[in-house]
Amino acid sequence: MPSRKFADGEVVMGRWPGSVLYYEVQVSSYDDVAHLYTVKYKDGTELALKESDIRSLSSFKHRKSQSSSSSPSRRSSSRSRSRSRSPGRAARGRRRSSSQSREHKEDKKKTVQETSLVPLKPSENNTRSYNGEPESNERNDTSFISLEQKFKPDLDIERVLEQYSLRPRKEEKKREEIYSEKKIFETIKTIEKAPSKTKELEFGGRIGTFMMIFFLPATVFYLLLVCKQDDPSILNFPPPLPALESLWETRVFGVFLLWFALQALFYLLPIGKVVEGLPLSSGKKLQYRINGFYAFIFTAAIIGTLLYFQLELHYLYDHFMQFAVSAAVFSMGLSIFLYIRSLKAPEEELAPSGNSGYLVYDFFIGHELNPRIGSFDLKYFCELRPGLIGWVVINLAMLLAEMKIHNLSMPSLAMILVNSFQLLYVVDALWNEEAVLTTMDITHDGFGFMLAFGDLVWVPFVYSLQAFYLVGHPTTISWPAAVAITILNCIGYYIFRSANSQKNNFRRNPADPKLAYLKFIPTATGKGLLVTGWWGFVRHPNYLGDIIMALAWSLPCGFSHILPYFYVIYFICLLVHREARDEHHCKQKYGLAWEKYCQRVPYRIFPYIY
C-alpha cells in the first residue's frame, strides 16, 4: 500500500481546518512521521492537513456535478430553503417572533453546514470566487462583524469591507454567518499546524548560531569589564583581563542557585489565576499560572527584610562579574540539559523554528517548544522570573553601592531615574504577565541557549549596565534635564503600553465594545489585522515605545561615553531584526491580507523613516 496518496506539487482540494470548506491547494511536502501534508493555499498560507482532509480535484468536480444534478439533493433543498428565508424579509424589516427566530437560526446554521458540505469548484464563470484570498475570509470577517454588531450596531465596519472588496455577494450570506459565528470561532481555534522540519534557518544558520554561542557571553564579559574601568571607552580593546580564578567563586554560584530556587518556589505557589496558552500544533492548550507579580512582591518583602537586618546587598556589585559567570555557566548547563531531553520529546512538541535537524542550530534556537517538568514550564518560568526580577535587584544593589562608595546620604538623581524607569518596565511586564503567552518566544521559539542565556544572563547583566556605569562614573544631571527625560520615558511607556494593550485586548476579544472604534483587515485565519489606532500608525508601535524608553534609560548617564548607550543601540538592532522575523511569519500566516496591511501601514517602526 502506498504510504501517501498525493504527490508533492499536486494540486488538490484541501479542507480549511475546522470547517467544511474546501479550497484549491498545492501539496508542498509530506511528513512521514506525523502523516501530515503541508499544503499551500493560493494566498500563500501554509497549513498541515491530514490525508482525510484532502480530495483530488477530479473527485471534487465529480461530486459537485452529482449533487447539483440530483434535484432533491441536500444542496438544492438547502439552497431553496435559504432563498425562502432571506434577504427580502430582512430588507422589508419584518420582525419574527422569538421562536420563529430561533427556528430560523437553526435552519440557517443547518443551511450553512449543508451548503458547505458540497465542495466548491473553482469554476470558469466564477471569476471573483477566488482572488488569492480564501473565501473563508468573508466568513470569518462577517463573523467578527456580527459579534461587533451585537454589541454596537452602529459600528462603521462597512468601509473596511468595501475597501477590501470583501462584502458578501448576498446580504443573506452575511446573515447566515451571523448565525454560524460560534461555529466559526470554534473552528479557528482548532487550526492544525505542522510540527514540520525547520527549513528556513535564521541568525546566520549553523555557522551564525555556532558563533553566537561564543559571541554573546564574550559580549557580556567585555561590557562588564569595560564598565568597571576608570575610562570606560569601548575603544580600550581589549580591556585588561582578570585572572581566570578570580572569575569563579563557589559561594556566588550558591547564591545564584538559591535565587533561582527561591523564584521557582514562588512560581509553584498555588496563588494567582491559571490561564490557557495559545493552541499548540496538536490542538492542545497548556495551562500557565499567572503569579509573576506576586513573586515580585514576595521577593521585595524578602529583600526589604534582609536589608532591615543589615544585609550587604552591594555584595552583588562587588562580585558582579562572578555572578554573571555563574549565571552563564548555569544557562549553558540548562541549555545542554534542555537539548538532551528534547531528543526524547514527541515530534509535535518540537519548536517550529528549532527543528532543523542540525545539532548546533537546534541547541541555540531551542529544540523543544515548551519543556516542562510536570507542570513546571521551564521556558515560561525563565522568561519573566529569575532574570527580570533579578535585574531590579541588581539595580537596587547598584544604587546602594553608589551611596556606599561615594558616601551619599541619598542616591544620585541619575541613579534614581534609571532605577525608577526600569522598575516600572519590570513591574509592567509582571503585571501583564499573561501577554507573554502570545509572544514569539513562547509560541514559536524553542527553549534553548538563545532564550536561556538571554533570560538569565543578558537581561539581568546587560540591561543593568546603566546603573552599573553610574556607580563607577557618577553623572550629575540638572532638574530640567531630569524632567525632560522623565517626560520622554512617559511618552515611550504610553505608546508601548497602549499599543500592546490594544492588540492584546483585540486578540483576546475582537468583539470588545471598547475596541469597536478600531478598523481591521480580515484574514483567512479568522484573526483581524488592526489598521487604525496604534497598529495603523506603524506596524510595530510597541517597538517604537520600547525604543523611546530605552533612550530615556541611557540619557541620565550623560554624554561622556557611548557604553551606557549600548542598550539602546543593541535594542534597535534587536527589534529591527525581530520585526523582520515577525514580518516573515505574518506573511506566511496571513498571505495577501498581510500585504494589504503593509500597503495601508507602510512604516515598520519609525514613522516616515523605517
Q: Under the rule (CB under 6 A), what is the footprint of ligand NDP?
A: 439-440, 496, 500, 503, 506-507, 527, 529-530, 535, 540, 542-543, 546, 578, 582, 585-586, 597
User: Which grid cell is 546?
Assistant: 520600547
* Nearer to ligand NDP (CB atom), residue 473 or residue 596: 596
DSSP state at residue 524? T
Residue nearer to ligand NDP on the CB measure, 197 or 497: 497
Closest CA to 448 of 356, 316, 534, 351: 351
Q: Which of 3, 33, 38 is nearest to 345 (CA)?
A: 33
The least distance separating ligand NDP from the CB of residue 193, rounded to whole angstroms, comes to 12
What residues have CB less than 8 Å from 591, skipping those under 6 apart?
A: 41, 43, 44, 45, 132, 133, 523, 524
Q: Shortest distance, CB of residue 50 to ligand NDP, whole angstroms?
A: 23
CB of 520 to ligand NDP, least distance (A): 7
Distance CA 469, CA 463 (A): 11
The residue (of 112 and 524) whose beta carbon lies closer to ligand NDP is 524
Closer Cβ to ligand NDP, 490 or 586, answer by number = 586
Spatial contact of 414 and 402, defined as CB atoms under 8 Å apart: no
How far apart (Å, rounded) are the C-alpha atoms in residues 190 and 86? 31
Shortest Å distance, C-beta 46 to ligand NDP: 14
Comparison of 91 and 609: residue with beta carbon closer to ligand NDP: 609
User: Alpha-carbon distance 367 to 355, whole Å?
Assistant: 6
Smallest gap from residue 546 Cβ to ligand NDP (A): 4
CA angle 245, 250, 256 (to 5 degrees): 120
Host H or E run for residue 276: strand 274-276
Q: Which is nearer to ligand NDP, 368 or 441 (CB)?
A: 441
Measured from the CB of residue 581, what is the shortest distance to ligand NDP in angstroms? 8
Nearer to ligand NDP, 248 or 494 (CB): 494
User: Nearest 5°: phi and psi at 373?
Assistant: -110, 105
What distance in Å separates the CA atoms of residue 231 and residue 287, rounded to the nearest whole number?
50
Rounded to a whole number of angstroms, the minimum distance from the CB of residue 18 to ligand NDP is 16
φ, ψ for residue 158, nearest 5 deg: -50, -40
Complex with ligand NDP: residue 345 or 552, whichever CB lies closer = 552
- Report the alpha-carbon distance of residue 75 to residue 324 in Å, rounded: 68
Minimum CB distance to ligand NDP, residue 372 (Å): 21
Contact assessment for residue 319 and residue 461, using Cβ atoms and an 8 Å cutoff: no
